[in-house]
Copies of this chain bind each other. A is one copy, B any other.
């Protein structure tokens, strides 16, 4: 076995994207409690972005999301990881549905 390590940061490989899930708000901006039935967006913030996939000539094709983007997540899939006590999910670029803007 290799030497012990305490990882602080994960650089996704290839076309993977590291996302931290967003807790859907339970109150409005003004503080009013939202009804349980309010539809909740399955979204997250992009923490790290892989370098992308190489084409046939070895040229890197970058991904379409960047750090800080808020992305709409699929209902399934993703690899769950815990780093420094925080929960993250690793997705393939192709599985991310879209970029959410306020």
Give chain A's interface residues, CB within 8 Å of chain B: 1-14, 16, 18, 20-25, 29, 39, 41, 43-45, 48, 50-51, 54-59, 61-62, 64-65, 70-72, 74-75, 79, 81-83, 87, 90, 93-94, 96-102
Contact = CB atoms under 8 A, between A and B. Distances in A.
B25 A100 contact: no
A37 to B, nearest CB: 11
Nearest to A25: B4
B74 A79 contact: yes
Given A11-B98, A59-B57, A4 B16 contact: no
Interface centre among A83, A87, A99, by most chain B C-beta atoms within 10 angstroms, is A99
A35 to B, nearest CB: 12
